Structure 1
Amino acid sequence: MDTIGEKLKKDRIEKGLTIGDLQRITKIQRRYLEAIEENDFDALPSDYYTRTFVRQYAEAVGQNPRPLLRRLEGKPENPNDLAIADPVKGSRKSKYDQTSRSKTFVRNYLPVTLLLLLVLAIFGTVIYAILLDSEQGPLIPTPEKTTVVKSEESSSVAQSEKTETSSSEETTETTKKEKEKEKTKELKVTEVLDSPQSVKYTLKSSASPHEIEFKGLDGPAWIGIQESGTTNMFYQYTLQPGETVTAEIPEEYDDVDIVVGASNNLSIGVEGKLLPFNKKNPVTGKKIVTLGFEGTKENKD
């Protein structure tokens, strides 16, 4: 007949478990498990732990521990102990921890749940009261008909003031539009050169100083303005999509170079007229737009 240790070891191997697996299941130290398999029960801390460890070992490998405990105590076998116990799943400590966590969860979240239910009940009561009041109508009923009494003199004065204000605004707007149209008519643009790298225009205009309008399109674009033939850059800006900025050309400059990065991401207008600088030879990168102004000096003289 196999000893207690031999029987337990054989059952463990049949279950396909290693000593390490058994240690994780029972939470018993490896040296104690090895001592049980070697029947070295003196290596265990006490008789109590010997009985406890043997019981846990047997239950872990699916064996009924009672016959083994009777043999351990030197008692004869009992036919009633033949039933096989279900294997344990975890140690007593893990079961205690699980129960403790459940109690802690209930203790922590039950007050919050009750408070939430109370808030919902109050909120529902307020909504019900509002609906009830709306069905009964407003506290101060709105009169079916409102009569406004106004003297003829005050009405006439107000109408006159309104007419004068409207007429003044229309006159100002009309004057502004006429000036813009006249300004655009005065500007004459002549294309001198158009290549993928550079474009040159001659502009005849009596306006001074000249204003250049840049408008962002689909992406950001960099702008730099300098006197033609020099590196004297007097204006730099990074234009964002949808943004519009205006740059003023100093009166002493007759020719300027507009250095543009990401040419397809902006439009250029001079005194209200757009320049098709990137239409014939479109590029997505750098381009130099040269503007030569004529008529400014004659206008100043």
Structure 2
Amino acid sequence: MSDLGALLRKAREQRGLSLDEIQELTKIRKRYLEAIESGDYSVLPGSFYVRAFVKNYSEAVGLDPEEVLRLYQHEVPAPAVEHATEPIPVRKPRKMKSQASERFGKIGFNLVMWCFLILILVLVWYYVVRNDDPDTNKADDTPITENSSTPAPATDNPDPSEPAVSVTPPPPTKAPTTVTFNSKSGKTDLYDIGPAGTVHKVELKVVGGRNWVEVRSGSNRGTKLFYANAEDGAVQTYELTEPIYINVGRADFTEVTVDGVPVPDGDRAGSKQLLLVPAAEGAGASATPSPAAGEGAATDSITSE
């Protein structure tokens, strides 16, 4: 067995996948998968298919295909000359587009945050400062004094012909959604999602290319909610009623948000594991225990309006 085949087989066994399941995910025949694991590339149709099959196999088991091909390039046959020149001009514009998109995305995010802050200040002025204005209170009392010339004693059976005066309190302001980094357990980043008592909406969108996506409830060994290669533009949404574990093959092809608030995923060409934990009722700043005893982790918080 070759070193590359041993790496792929170990990654597959760690995920609990069989060759039949890999065949279903990648659409590669089982005998080709067995040949890749054993290092017998003569069974495959050609050198171009060897690299393509290795990339698809790596994505299916959560490995970075480019990094795998770079580390084991001495084992993988070199592609034909006519195919080697095609990927070079294609990947450069994508990288430039990603950098420009990231720069404009940060500017747009900062602009939205400032708009939310101004909106909150306007609401505070309207419900606090304006309601405390004595002229406003006087105007509100005028209709009551005009409708009754003399005060009437309170009775258990009021006259139904008299109009009832109702005072409606202002609606409570919805607490903003917060995404706070708690700690890191192995390769998994733990985030606390607040506030408590709110059903948050988690959205996972694939942008930029085909990407491996794994979503489980509770933990990385919980019930499977999604477990497949997702096509570009695919969107998955879930209600955060319990912890949700997310594992993606390419972080730069994935956008994860909670109620519209982005969850940092590194935005790099590699795998990323996240655990989103909803805040518990009556808990303090964080209801999630640190995974490693004595490990002090700084918390970074992202907040919506």
TM-score when scaled to structure 1?
A: 0.32
Higher helix fraction (1 or 2): 1
Q: Which has the higher contact order (CA 8 A, sep 6+)?
A: 2
Which entry has the higher C-alpha Rg, 1 or 2?
A: 1
TM-score when scaled to structure 2?
A: 0.31
